Amino acid sequence: MAAKISTYLARWTIYVPVVAVAALALTWGRDLAAALVIVSAALLAGAVLAAVHHAEVVAHKVGEPFGSLVLAVAVTVIEVALIVTLMISGGEKTQSLARDTVFAAVMITCNGILGLSLLVGAIRRRIAVFNPEGTGGALAAVATVATLSLVLPSFTTSRPGPQFSPAQLVFAAVASLGLYLLFVTVQTRRHRDYFLPITTAGEVIDEEEHVDPPTARAALTSVGLLLVALIAVVGLAKGVSPAIESAVAGAGLPQSVVGVIIALLVLLPETIAAVRAAARDRIQTSLNLALGSAMASIGLTIPAIAIAMIWLDGPLLLGLGGTQMVLLALTVVVGTLTVVPGRANVLQGGIHVGLLAVFLFLAASP
């Protein structure tokens, strides 16, 4: 009996997404009572953890850097769907939701996930080693699309306020998507070796050691369950979002905090997967997840929002404020100094985590 219970518990990653989708179907479109909000939040957390598990199974099957790409795109789909869904039903208060969420995603990935990964790797091996060519190129791509999509709208003059004109928005969307596709091509084809994990001696690791890859059937099953888990995450997050917005308003916090919470929520799978990879001495995999997610967050979200604006009313506020621009510039400068040597210790990791703490504090107390 104990063995059977243990087997059932070990298969929770199969049951939880299915139960979460069933709960989503039963609660969709309804105002949730406090008890249902708690249950939905618990199922949401379980669906996120299940998504991490199934994404890692798929990643192990396809190998690096394709595995990091799978999880980055999957998480970005969550983000885009959640932003668009909330903008459709949120009115004027969601005009800056895309900007707040994307900027929060950039700060969380480039400081939080990257910093935690370096800390875990440096504590384990004293020095965290990675490939500066691939990581540096990824950081350059993130800095470019972030400036194009989030900084320039504050300086253009075609429209009042921090927003693009329709033509400028289309150009930014096409340019962001084009740069993202170029980044993916370089990462997976032309210079794939730049994004493979390396040992402290500088040797490339092209395969997972000591663990056989999952079968094709197991990988396909995980793909299906990953999609189910992502649907549950998006739907349940939308269900609990009114409670989040009410809590933010009740605490007297700025509306932009909602975007930060959304980004923290959808990037939880990336964070867990990156820290696990760092604990296995796969720092490059962790950095692929961090910077790849930042790149996907901008390169896919901005085009999706641009298309959605055909049906959405009101302006789309994309330009950052002065404080946010300073944090973005500091993140790019510190990130450059971190990745250029190809080696980092606990100091660099701690600095990035500290920058995330500054961002979170200023988001709550601007």
Tell me, what's the pLDDT at 8?
Answer: 43
Least confident of 29-38, 85-94, 181-190: 85-94
Distance, in Å, from the CA atom of 222 to the CA atom of 190, rounded to the nearest integer, reads: 28
Residues 6+ apart with CB under 8 A from 66: 59, 188
Name the average pLDDT for the chain: 81
- Residue 307 structure tokens: 């298309």
Higher pLDDT, 90 or 218: 218
> Does 306 score more than 60 pLDDT?
yes
Average pLDDT, stretch 263-284? Answer: 83
Q: What's the angle, vertex CA 295, arms to CA 121 and CA 116, rounded to 5?
A: 20
User: What pLDDT score does 143 carry?
Assistant: 94
Residue 73 phi/psi, 5° resolution?
Answer: -65, -40
193 pLDDT band, cuts 50/70/90, is: confident
Helices (H), 268-319: 268-279, 283-308
Tell me the pLDDT band of 2, cut-offs 50, 70 and 90: very low
Higher pLDDT residue, 159 or 80?
159
171 three-class SS: helix
Mean pLDDT of all residues in 288-304: 86
Closest by CA to 137, choosing from 64, 194, 72, 178, is 194
pLDDT for 256: 80
Q: Band of the pLDDT at 200, cuts 50, 70, 90?
A: low
Do residues 240 and 40 lie in contact, with contact meaning Cβ atoms separated by under 8 Å?
yes
* Pair 330, 355: CB distance under 8 Å: yes
Weakest mean pLDDT among 79-88, 225-234, 239-248, 323-332: 79-88
At 211 the pLDDT is: 52
Q: How confident is the model at residue 264 (pLDDT cuts 50, 70, 90)?
A: confident
Residue 171 predicted with pLDDT over 90: yes
Alpha carbon separation from 63 to 51, 129, 289 (Å, rounded): 17, 19, 13
The rounded distance, in Å, linking the Cα atoms of 89 and 111 is 31
Of the listed ranges 64-73, 157-166, 333-342, the least confidently predicted one is: 64-73
Q: Which of 11-25, 44-58, 269-283 has the lowest mean pLDDT?
A: 44-58
> Is 156 a residue whose pLDDT tops 70?
yes
pLDDT band per the 50, 70, 90 thresholds, residue 163: confident
Rounded to whole angstroms, how far apart are CA atoms 208 and 155? Answer: 47
3-state DSSP call for residue 161? Answer: coil
Nearest residue to 267 (alpha-carbon basis) of 106, 57, 69, 136: 106
Fold exhibited by the domain 2-364? A middle domain of Talin 1 (1.20.1420)
Q: Is the pLDDT of residue 138 over 50?
A: yes
pLDDT tier for residue 201 given thresholds of 50, 70 and 90:
low
Range 85-90, long-range pairs (CB < 8 A, 24+ positions): 85/234, 85/238, 86/238, 86/241, 86/262, 87/305, 87/308, 87/312, 88/312
In this prediction, residue 5 has a pLDDT band, given cuts at 50, 70 and 90, of very low
pLDDT for the residue 151: 93
Query: Which stretches of 29-152 are DSSP H helices?
Result: 34-62, 66-90, 97-107, 114-125, 132-146
Residue 128 has φ and ψ, to the nearest 5°, of -95, 125
Which two structure tokens, joined as six digits, stand for 247? Answer: 């809590």
Domain boundaries of the chain, sorted by first residue: 2-364
pLDDT at 243 over 70: yes
CB 60 within 8 A of CB 208: yes
Q: What is the model's pLDDT at position 361?
A: 94
What letter would DSSP give residue 92? G
pLDDT at 112: 93
Say yes or no to pLDDT of 99 above 80: yes
Tokens coding 340: 């250029």
pLDDT at 347: 93
